Structure 1
Amino acid sequence: MRRNPSRALTPGLAGRVAVLAVATALTLGPVVWTVWTSLSVRADGSPGAGFGAYGDVVDQVALGLLVWNSVLVTALCAIGQMVTAALAGYVFARVPFRGSGALFAVVLATMMVPLQVTIVPVFVLVRGMGLSDTLLALVLPAVPTAFGTFLMRQYFLGLPGELGEAAAIDGAGPLRTFTSVYAPLAAPGLAIVGILAFNYHWNEFFRPLILTVSEQNFTLPLGLVTLQGNLGTGSVATVLAGVVVSMVPALVVFVLGQRPLREGLTAGAGK
């Protein structure tokens, strides 16, 4: 019986499989170790099995408040970025005006400015607006997004221009054309912006560290820093349990958003 040559294990295929196996081990290895250690080591450092370390996390930090703050801030940032990126991307792509190219270049240039450079001016502006040490201080500066604007502009450029021309013939203005024609077609692109924004701001640590002071306004990554004191007592399981808790929502969002993310990337590549 002749074997299918497409299924034969050639040296090239074996090498690719080996490289992918190593990359998978390096990627998933720390995650598996973190989950396993949080479940197999007791709070006092002795071997054991159970969820005792997770109970210690609940006892040591206001987990419910931290999760609520993170969910609220992250959701508002993601929704705000989706709205601003869609509107700005549509204007740059479909509404011609003088200086659009130069303005778009300025928007792209902001992507090359590190966050550490702008955090002091942002802090001064937030304090001047009376929003210091509030959750709005974390939301408002994060709503504009240069990357999302660039992504949505490219997405709108890939959509047929005849759709806008047909809407204009029917008497629709730019805003009506956007809301009724282009915005529904850009849903996969908006899904990409929303998912990326959620994952970024859910794990964000630097801005909450600078812009918030009160513990009631801490987000989850900042609040879990208090668990570092357990490292001195050998209770590494408690720290790792907090890490697992912070990973779960981002993992759930990624799994649920995998399909629209894949469709958005494929549609963008096709266009």
Structure 2
Amino acid sequence: MSDLRTRPTTKRPPTGDLAAEGRRRRASIAAFYTVLIVVAIIYIYPFVIQAGTSFKTDGDSTYNPLNPFPSLFTLDAYATLADVDFPLWFRNSVIVTAFVTVGRVLLCSAAGYALSRLHFVGRKFLLAAILAVMAVPGVVLLIPKFLILNQLGMYNTFSAMIIPLLWDATGIFIMKQYFDTIPPAVEEAARIDGAGVVRRFWSIMLPMAGPALVTLTVFAFQGSWNEFTHFIVARSSAETNTLTTGVAALTTGQFGSGNRYPLKLAAALIMTIPVALVYFVFQRKLVRGQGGGAVKG
């Protein structure tokens, strides 16, 4: 008696079921993208109102605040900004942001590398102290900052606005965590070739930390460009006003009476453009985590 071997047969769903499944899938995809579009509109609409209102007249912005299209296109708000030291504020913001961004990237990278790779007495205590600083609200440190800057004779200078912002506990922690993910064998090979600590950091580790460097650069630029509370306690003269402090004084000073929506939103729009440009330039590396490779020398 011969054995009867049955082969498993796959049952295909009827053609009608396949069509229904395809319709359900397309419907779910359409619903998903509809929700995304609605959320995007809700998120972007305030920025559209900001841009449109900056070209309105004061009366138009008051009577039609939610209409982004001006009934009479005008550049009066931007002309007014040019007459109230706005270019000076912009220049000061560029100077402070450039120095803070470059300095913070270099110093936080070096500190993160030291905490990750170098073995020295007190390393764990120092790391714990940095993590503790991250938990302290920044507003708590405003008065100590003012007292230190005043005692050192740095108050109301660009150095007082720049130097305290060069170090950032979050930036050090980001770089330290990323350096921990790099295999020690890469650096060990460079050490065998005779590369010193500085050489290994600059030519091996730093190029491999591309994604972390991009993240730190964006955070440093955005943080220093939008900084406000530190500048309140670090300076007081009109010559050292940045965009944040200058616009705050603008909206509460001689132009604070009335709505003056076009003037305020024109200033806010100009302040937003540099941060948006930096984000769009680096967004691909932020999302995909692309970075450079090691450079052996």
Instruction: Please give the TM-score of this superposition, normalised by the length of structure 2.
Output: 0.81
Size of the alignment, in residue pairs? 263
* 1:216-244, Cα deviation, whole Å (9 max, x unpaired): 10101111123325453343111111111
TM-aligned CA distance change 1:127 to 1:6, over 3 Å? farther
* 1:177-203, Cα deviation, whole Å (9 max, x unpaired): 111211121233112101111111111
Give 1:21 deviation, angstroms: 3.2
Contact between 2:54 and 2:262, CA under 8 Å: does it hold in 1? Answer: yes
Instruction: Determine the structure 1 residue equivalent to 2:262.
Output: 237
Contact between 1:44 and 1:234, CA under 8 Å: does it hold in 2? Answer: no
Q: 1:25 aligns with which of 24, 37, 41?
A: 41
Instruction: Determine the structure 1 residue equivalent to 2:108.
Output: 85
Structure with the larger helix share: 1
TM alignment of 1:1-271, pairs within 5 A: 5=22, 8-11=25-28, 13=29, 16-39=32-55, 41-43=56-58, 45=60, 47-59=71-83, 61-228=84-251, 229-230=254-255, 232-264=257-289
Instruction: Give the secondary-structure state (helix, strand or coil) at the position aligned to 1:8.
Output: helix
TM-aligned CA distance change 1:231 to 1:124, over 3 Å? closer
AA aligned opposite 1:52 = D
In structure 2, stretches of 5+ residues that fail to align are: 1-14, 62-70, 292-297
AA aligned opposite 1:146 = A
User: Identity of aligned pairs, percent?
Assistant: 32
Contact between 2:145 and 2:233, CA under 8 Å: does it hold in 1? Answer: no
Separation in structure 2 between the aligned mates of residue 44 and residue 215 of structure 1, nearest angstrom: 30
Give 1:92 deviation, angstroms: 1.2
Contact between 2:231 and 2:245, CA under 8 Å: does it hold in 1? Answer: yes
Instruction: Give the secondary-structure state (helix, strand or coil) at the position aligned to 2:114.
Output: helix
AA aligned opposite 1:254 = Y
Instruction: Give the secondary-structure state (helix, strand or coil) at the position aligned to 2:54.
Output: helix
In structure 1, stretches of 5+ residues that fail to align are: none
Larger radius of gyration: 2
